[in-house]
Chain A
């Protein structure tokens, strides 16, 4: 039995068993074991990666389904396995029936298959397994959201299928290695003035189709509209995997684009400033994703929606990193993909805990939970610091790398977008911090208990990893260096050294700890505390009147919303809805005119078609 096969299919088998058994306790155990097997096998497979890649080919009715575990796919599969395992663990508390176990585990199989696929058909098949399973998860909770997700995903999937078809028709091969060779040969002959197998138009078409396919999955602007609804309207433990891992499939796709057709795209598109032009398009859309996601996250009143938009915003950073296209920026992007999976997974598990314990989702119903849920609050604290990019957590290391990569390439617009995204990150996080954990506690959540054990363990795993990879950023960086086979980020496991800037996680931790100790000593020695009522809120020096009702729990960013009213009216969600609506209207009108119930009209159609056929000489 091949290990790769077990890694990919054990969640699916466990999911089916859990679905068939339906016994409380047993199905949870089966599901958790099923998601643990890939994690263990991936760790076990790590030493053998240094010799050669693990491969496996499965023959299904004449089709060859190829899997390969390279270093790149190992990194992504590990993200999937770790976050997937914690999400499944969290589901032990939050899942209501075996249906959810089946599809959550099926989507884990899908995403592992996408990461380990060795040819485009396998990639596509598992891509669809992943889409289908996550659609079913959303479908159970909200039909509208699931349909929007499904329609956009299907558009993306068909775009990818067409692109695969063109590539296959031209090169006659579907394995990544062959396609990559074909494209680089093509680029070479193009540079020497020959006529390659792909024309410029075809290359652009393939690029555009892949951009659509991967952009939908990653939640890239303006294709992000499905994400907020789908992320918020499902089992929140599952969202940890949905947002943390499934969106990485799109990111992985963009990296695949580099692996397959980098040279060809450079030759056809040329450069824009210091970045390749095709990458700059991805990076610019990524930058817009950061801004749009960030601002919309700040304006949400629902805790789940806030993190859904924030997740979109963070994916933007990864796209910027990938788009800039230097070895350093791609490494930074993969680093941020890892840290995004870790902190966003943690965030959604925290949201799952809060909703599981209180049953409320809106900011106005929360407050003062830090006392009641100390462990969850500690985890939330780690996650907030990590997302906001405060050292010594993993979010800082990865964001810092992206900043450095963008600045080093001298791209001011992208730099501005990335910095803006970081600032807006604080804006929405401060809201989550204060509205949920501090302040007055509403009386109906007075008896809230702390997280249930499975969720607590899951959060603990992700929280610990957030801290470890933050204090020792080199652990990840050294591994990523091996992807490129050269030292791109220098330093040891505590320190990142780029040559023009360095960051030492351990040293910073020590200094911060000392600083905090001094502050604690000062506080306990002589701080005089004044009690302030919660309603004592001021805005620009003026007391806030009741008609505005600006507390941090309700309409806190109303002035921002009013200031941006014009821009907020431009909504892609509405645009797609309008397009869909007018298509429906058009079809309805056409139907009424053509299919009008008049038999004589149908006879006319027949006669006309017969005349046309006769004229064509059929």
Chain B
């Protein structure tokens, strides 16, 4: 039986992918990208999870053998920052595209670009 965490994370990725592949509105595509990114982050985190253990912060009563895998958490921290940065840049590009073409429909933009 596949774990609910994996299932949920992969479902989020697929929903995001669906938006990227099918939607014509640039903002919706960006939303799709964001959803995908969330899904990927959740997947990474759930890979590192060991059931019954606590956060990997060494304090009283918690030794290294009682914490979950810390590496995916560090990875995800990086990925979140990168994700936010790319989203911000993509949004600024969307603003410029709207100013230039007056539409956010990607097919319309492609046609206007020639």
**A residues neighboring B (CB under 8 Å):** 597-600, 603-604, 607
For B106, what are the chain A residues with a Cβ–Cβ distance below 8 Å?
Answer: 598-600
New A-B pairs, 5, CB < 8 Å, besides A599-B106, A600-B29:
A600-B20, A600-B106, A603-B21, A604-B21, A607-B17
| B100 contacts chain A at the CB level, 8 A cutoff | no
Shortest beta-carbon distance from B105 to chain A in Å:
12
For A597, what are the chain B residues with a Cβ–Cβ distance below 8 Å?
Answer: 110
Shortest beta-carbon distance from A53 to chain B in Å:
66
Complex CA gap A618/B110 in Å reads 36
Can you list 9 A-B contacts with CB-CB less than 8 angstroms, sorted by A residue number?
Answer: A597-B110, A598-B106, A598-B110, A599-B106, A600-B20, A600-B106, A603-B20, A604-B21, A607-B21
Q: How many cross-chain pairs have Cβ atoms below 8 Å apart between A and B?
A: 14
For A599, what are the chain B residues with a Cβ–Cβ distance below 8 Å?
Answer: 106
Complex CA gap A222/B48 in Å reads 66
Chain A binding surface, main DSSP class: helix
Q: Considering only CB atoms, which chain A residue lies closest to B33 in the complex?
A: A603
For B17, what are the chain A residues with a Cβ–Cβ distance below 8 Å?
Answer: 603, 607
Number of B residues, CB within 8 Å of A:
6
For B20, what are the chain A residues with a Cβ–Cβ distance below 8 Å?
Answer: 600, 603
Shortest beta-carbon distance from B55 to chain A in Å:
33
Complex CA gap A598/B24 in Å reads 11
Shortest beta-carbon distance from B106 to chain A in Å:
7
**B residues neighboring A (CB under 8 Å):** 17, 20-21, 29, 106, 110
Chain B binding surface, main DSSP class: helix
Shortest beta-carbon distance from A491 to chain B in Å:
81
Q: Considering only CB atoms, which chain B residue lies closest to A601 in the complex?
A: B21
Complex CA gap A607/B18 in Å reads 10
Complex CA gap A599/B29 in Å reads 11
Q: Considering only CB atoms, which chain A residue lies closest to B113 in the complex?
A: A597
Q: Considering only CB atoms, which chain A residue lies closest to B110 in the complex?
A: A598
Identify the interface centre among A598, A599, A600, A607: most chain B CB within 10 Å of its CB.
Answer: A600
Q: Considering only CB atoms, which chain A residue lies closest to B29 in the complex?
A: A600
For A607, what are the chain B residues with a Cβ–Cβ distance below 8 Å?
Answer: 17, 21
Q: 4 shortest A-B CB distances, which residue pairs?
A: A603-B20, A603-B21, A604-B21, A607-B17
Complex CA gap A607/B29 in Å reads 15
Complex CA gap A597/B21 in Å reads 14
For B21, what are the chain A residues with a Cβ–Cβ distance below 8 Å?
Answer: 600, 603-604, 607
Q: Considering only CB atoms, which chain A residue lies closest to B107 in the complex?
A: A598
Shortest beta-carbon distance from A497 to chain B in Å:
82
Shortest beta-carbon distance from A245 to chain B in Å:
56
Complex CA gap A603/B33 in Å reads 11
Complex CA gap A600/B19 in Å reads 10
For A600, what are the chain B residues with a Cβ–Cβ distance below 8 Å?
Answer: 20-21, 29, 106
Q: Considering only CB atoms, which chain B residue lies closest to A599 in the complex?
A: B106
Shortest beta-carbon distance from B29 to chain A in Å:
8
Shortest beta-carbon distance from A92 to chain B in Å:
59
Shortest beta-carbon distance from A615 to chain B in Å:
15
Shortest beta-carbon distance from B12 to chain A in Å:
15
Shortest beta-carbon distance from B82 to chain A in Å:
18
Shortest beta-carbon distance from A602 to chain B in Å:
10
Complex CA gap A603/B17 in Å reads 8
Complex CA gap A600/B110 in Å reads 11
For B29, what are the chain A residues with a Cβ–Cβ distance below 8 Å?
Answer: 600
Complex CA gap A14/B107 in Å reads 64
Complex CA gap A9/B29 in Å reads 65
Q: Considering only CB atoms, which chain A residue lies closest to B106 in the complex?
A: A600
Complex CA gap A600/B33 in Å reads 12
For A603, what are the chain B residues with a Cβ–Cβ distance below 8 Å?
Answer: 17, 20-21
Q: Considering only CB atoms, which chain B residue lies closest to A598 in the complex?
A: B110
Shortest beta-carbon distance from B18 to chain A in Å:
9
Shortest beta-carbon distance from B56 to chain A in Å:
31
Shortest beta-carbon distance from A187 to chain B in Å:
61
Complex CA gap A599/B21 in Å reads 9
Complex CA gap A600/B29 in Å reads 9
Shortest beta-carbon distance from A458 to chain B in Å:
62
For A598, what are the chain B residues with a Cβ–Cβ distance below 8 Å?
Answer: 106, 110
For A604, what are the chain B residues with a Cβ–Cβ distance below 8 Å?
Answer: 21
Shortest beta-carbon distance from B86 to chain A in Å:
14
Complex CA gap A93/B33 in Å reads 71
Complex CA gap A603/B106 in Å reads 14
Complex CA gap A262/B20 in Å reads 64
Complex CA gap A603/B30 in Å reads 13
Q: Considering only CB atoms, which chain B residue lies closest to A596 in the complex?
A: B110
Shortest beta-carbon distance from A226 to chain B in Å:
42
Shortest beta-carbon distance from B24 to chain A in Å:
8
Shortest beta-carbon distance from A598 to chain B in Å:
7
Complex CA gap A219/B99 in Å reads 63
Q: Considering only CB atoms, which chain A residue lies closest to B17 in the complex?
A: A607
Shortest beta-carbon distance from B81 to chain A in Å:
23
Q: Considering only CB atoms, which chain A residue lies closest to B14 in the complex?
A: A607
Complex CA gap A512/B55 in Å reads 111
Complex CA gap A129/B110 in Å reads 50
For B110, what are the chain A residues with a Cβ–Cβ distance below 8 Å?
Answer: 597-598
Q: Considering only CB atoms, which chain B residue lies closest to A600 in the complex?
A: B21
Shortest beta-carbon distance from A607 to chain B in Å:
6
Complex CA gap A24/B20 in Å reads 69
Shortest beta-carbon distance from A82 to chain B in Å:
65
Shortest beta-carbon distance from B90 to chain A in Å:
11
Q: Considering only CB atoms, which chain A residue lies closest to B18 in the complex?
A: A607
Shortest beta-carbon distance from B30 to chain A in Å:
12
Complex CA gap A597/B114 in Å reads 11
